[in-house]
Amino acid sequence: MEIAQLNIYPVKSLQGISLSQSVLQEHGLAWDRRWMLVDAQQRFVTQRQLPALATIGVELTDEHLVLSHSAVDSLRLPLTEPEGNLRLVNVWNDHCKARPESEEVTRWLEAALGEQAQGLSLVRFATEFSRAVEEDFLDGGAAHTYFADGYPFLITTTGSLDALNQALVDGGQSPVPMNRFRPNIVIKCDQAWAEDRWVTLSAQSGSFQLTLRKACKRCKIITIDQQSAAMPAPAEPLETLVVLNTQPTLKGAHFGQNATLLVGAGGVIRVGDALSAVIREI
């Protein structure tokens, strides 16, 4: 097995960035989910409420976060920490401390997306604050993350996508690309659903080790085209995943595994890294 893709999503629910390598940090890949959009009540806003967020491109330079959209000129935000008072924002049931970016972002979003983006603002995770991962699946350990839904890493495999796409085609639907699932680490692995039995995933070089914690329950975002924000086949591939029932003891649709970093913080992870897994005994 080896790493086929590495992806980060600097702004939660906007387009991702594919990388050839990244720095491993306990809270995720470097710059992943560092920013987030919030509404006037300071609650997180994602493609669940606003699918058009999928049309906003994201780029990182040495000095800037760059947002782009076909309707407006690009917006460049300095990577240096913004000034201003800390703000309390919500991700699901978590209260997180964040720093607001300039109001220029709000105006830019409204120009790009229209009235549906009215009142949104962009905040940056305050790194002096720690957001803990739920303890239920950590076997007595601890982990933290930034603005990800719940875990610092999301791992998927090519074999599982192939199996899902075969089921979609067999059902008269079109196959979907991996970006529908917004993974951080994509593993080249021919066996479908193999990741659901992995306990740990390690670089053969010994440079890092990830612990797989919890199957990722999927939502309507996987029905949204991650470039156009269209929904080509409403409820797909969500419905097909439910039928496949890849997690028989759990309700809903699942694809991929949430993970935490056990070894290797500060090291580099690369596309092409050879991997080995410890498999859970049945």
Q: Tell which residue, 274, 141, 269, 252, has the closest CA to residue 205.
A: 274
Yes or no: say if 212 and 143 are a contact pair by the CB < 8 Å rule: no
pLDDT of residue 282: 66
pLDDT of residue 281: 78
pLDDT of residue 125: 97
pLDDT of residue 82: 84
**Whole-angstrom Cα distance, residue 240 to residue 253?**
8
pLDDT of residue 145: 97
pLDDT of residue 19: 98
251 Cβ contact list (under 8 Å, min separation 6)? none
Give the Å distances, CA to CA, from 239 to 22, 76, 168, 234, 254: 34, 39, 10, 9, 11
Q: Which residue stretches of the chain have pLDDT < 50? A: none
pLDDT of residue 192: 97
Q: Tell which residue, 258, 281, 71, has the closest CA to residue 183.
A: 258
pLDDT of residue 47: 98
